[in-house]
Amino acid sequence: MEFLAWVEQSGFSVWLRESPSVWAYPTILFLHTLGLALLVGASMVIDLRVLGFSASLPLEPFKRFLPVLWLGFWLNAISGVLLVLIDATRLLSNPLFYFKLGFIGLAVVCGQLIAKRVFPRWPAAYDWEDQTSCRVLAGASLFFWIAAITAGRLTAYLFTAGDLAASVR
């Protein structure tokens, strides 16, 4: 806790939090939203295709979209770290924040497993379209991204385990 308070009180965190400039806190929040749109948006499109929507759409050439997806990921990893620096004690003591991180982790693992099947190093090694496991992964990926967005948004409203319990009562 002391370390968190120290992080929060460091010069950089104070500037990010207290600067009236739109280039500080507001811009970091915007970049976090933009990254979400790129990462979750592109992931959702791949998931929908794997689930069977627009079945004539070949996924293999989507390889070229992956840098956009990763741009979104790193944009959010970096802006996310900055948002934690600004508000360390409140975020890191909020159970929802750990749910959010957990859901992101699970969504990324699903994404990697889907990528391994859909973008094989040696094409035609096997056909992912026949695999139920690939569809299950795509469904799970959609679920985990939606859960991550939900948990992330709610960190701004519910702060403790008590708040969480009260909200579902």
Chain residues in the site for another protein (CB under 8 A): 22, 25-26, 29-30, 33-34, 36-38, 40-45, 48-49, 53-54, 56-58, 60-65, 68, 145-146, 149-150, 153-154, 156-157, 167
Q: What's the closest the beta carbon of residue 3 comes to another protein, in angstroms?
A: 29
Whichever of 4 and 31 has its CB closer to another protein, that residue is: 31
Whichever of 4 and 66 has its CB closer to another protein, that residue is: 66
Q: What's the closest the beta carbon of residue 32 comes to another protein, in angstroms?
A: 9
Compute the distance between CA of residue 126 and CA of residue 128 in angstroms, rounded to an integer.
Answer: 6
- 46 CB-near residues (< 8 Å, 6+ apart): 59, 62, 111, 114, 118, 138
Structure tokens at 8: 């929060």
HSE-CB at 95 with a 13 A cutoff on CA atoms is: 7
Q: Which of these, 107, 135, 118, lies nearest to 41 by C-alpha position?
A: 107
Whether 69 contacts 42, CB under 8 Å: yes
Q: What's the closest the beta carbon of residue 136 comes to another protein, in angstroms?
A: 20
Q: What's the closest the beta carbon of residue 5 comes to another protein, in angstroms?
A: 26
Whichever of 48 and 113 has its CB closer to another protein, that residue is: 48
